[in-house]
Structure 1
Amino acid sequence: MARRTRAEMEETRQQLITSARQAFSEHGYADTSMDELTAQAGFTRGALYHHFGDKKGLLQAVVEQIDAEMDARLHTISSSADDAWEGFCARCRGYLEMALEPEIQRIVLRDAKSVLGGATPESQRHCISSMQGLIQNLITQGTVASVDPQALASLIYGSLAEAAFWIADGEDGNTRLSQSITALDLLLRGLRAH
């Protein structure tokens, strides 16, 4: 039997992630059969176990892919704004708005929370570090009051994450989003240097 190349192994891994992402999005984690998923992707369960260990490992890989895409979208929002403050505010609102997107809502905000316990510590550190950099810039500009940027980033990140879970958890997501954005705007106004 010929050994598979690294490129072939990575292609298999990506195909499994793509198939799982579609299945988790359509059926949810609990109702996705690994036998059906692997057969649909044209692989055996052995391929799944080799690359991800188990179904939870596959979910983790899917969540990491979606997280990276969300991060890229948020970066685009903040970096394309006319000024740093508006970019920061738009980025925070953008994160909350993503909570209504069906794929993010089901996979990241529902299934990942219940199955994996939420974001990984590594993902949380990345989000906080990214936000900390934006806040440090705003403090340096004199836009945001002088405060420890890591502490503020941790507070804002935690608030946004909990609000996103709350938005995704209810039948009235649009109302919850509107209420959350109103509360967010009040919170962000309080950060401004006077």
Structure 2
Amino acid sequence: MQERNLRRSNRDRTEATRGDLIAAARKLFTEKSYAETGTPEIVAAAGVTRGALYHHFADKQALFEAVVEQEANAVAEEVERAAPVALGAREALLAGTEAYLRAMQVAGRTRLLLLDGPAVLGRTGMDAVDDRHGNRTLREGLATTMRAGAMRKLPLDALTGLLAATFDRAALAVDAGAPFDDQLAVIAALIDGLMKQSPQPA
């Protein structure tokens, strides 16, 4: 029993240290950018040693990837909560779209996921993160809508990629001050155009 408790205590400390590093790095990366943040600042902000940093992460880029992974997962969870199975196909896509745009309004997310993410991890690396999170939820929603017969059959990978790019562009526009409702309305019109029977204007 004592040995099991010790292992749990060590694991808890390890997870806490990793969490502190990710939280400190996120704050600095969003305030100063990835390029302008040094590892000495990160370990100082996290209250850990440089050795602890390199115990958990190979380098600053690996730590950045962990931050990006955490943020992308948080956005995907918001989308999934907003679009439960009980919603109709079109309603789920629209609810997920709005949830994505709102989730991306969290301070620092557009910089992390849409600007620094592709620059630091490369397009291939960032696509891999997206495919595990946001693009996965979008792809599943589109596939469900097509299977239900509510949307025209189109190549799923191409449609997912192009719609995801549209969502990202809208998130950047909102972050730069564009009206949220305008971006949402245009995306809703695009989604309606993909449906087999587009809703008639009220």
The TM tier, using the shorter chain, reads 0.7 to 0.9
Kindly indicate whether the alpha-carbon contact (under 8 Å) linking 2:43 and 2:50 is maintained by their aligned counterparts in 1. yes
Tell me the residue number matched to 1:52: 57
In 1, Cα distance between equivalents of 2:28 and 2:173: 24
1:155 to 148, 158, 162: 162
Query: 1:182-193 to 2 correspondence within 5 Å?
Result: 182-193=185-196
Tell me the residue number matched to 2:37: 32
Normalised to the residue count of structure 2, the TM-score between the two structures is 0.78
In 2, Cα distance between equivalents of 1:129 and 1:104: 18
For this pair of structures, how many residues does the alignment match? Answer: 188
Unpaired runs of 5+ residues, structure 2, are: 1-8, 198-202
In 2, Cα distance between equivalents of 1:31 and 1:151: 35
Tell me the residue number matched to 1:139: 146
In 2, Cα distance between equivalents of 1:108 and 1:151: 21
In 2, Cα distance between equivalents of 1:14 and 1:153: 32
Q: Which moved more, 1:103-112 or 1:159-168?
A: 159-168
1:181 to 180, 184, 187: 184
Q: Does 1:12 align with 2:17?
A: yes
- Over aligned residues, Cα RMSD in angstroms? 2.7
Question: Deviation at 1:146?
Answer: 2.7
Helix, strand or coil at the partner of 1:75: helix
Question: Deviation at 1:80?
Answer: 7.2
Q: Percent identity?
A: 30
Given residue 49 of structure 2, which amino acid in structure 1 is its aligned partner?
Answer: T
Could you give the per-residue CA deviations for residues 140-188 of structure 1, whole angstroms, max 9, x where no partner exists?
Answer: 22221233333322321232223334444x3xx233x444323212211
Helix, strand or coil at the partner of 1:117: helix
| Compared CA separation, residues 50 and 155, structure 1 to 2 (3 A) | same
Given residue 154 of structure 1, which amino acid in structure 2 is its aligned partner?
Answer: G
Tell me the residue number matched to 1:86: 91
Tell me the residue number matched to 1:122: 128
Normalised to the residue count of structure 1, the TM-score between the two structures is 0.80
Unpaired runs of 5+ residues, structure 1, are: none
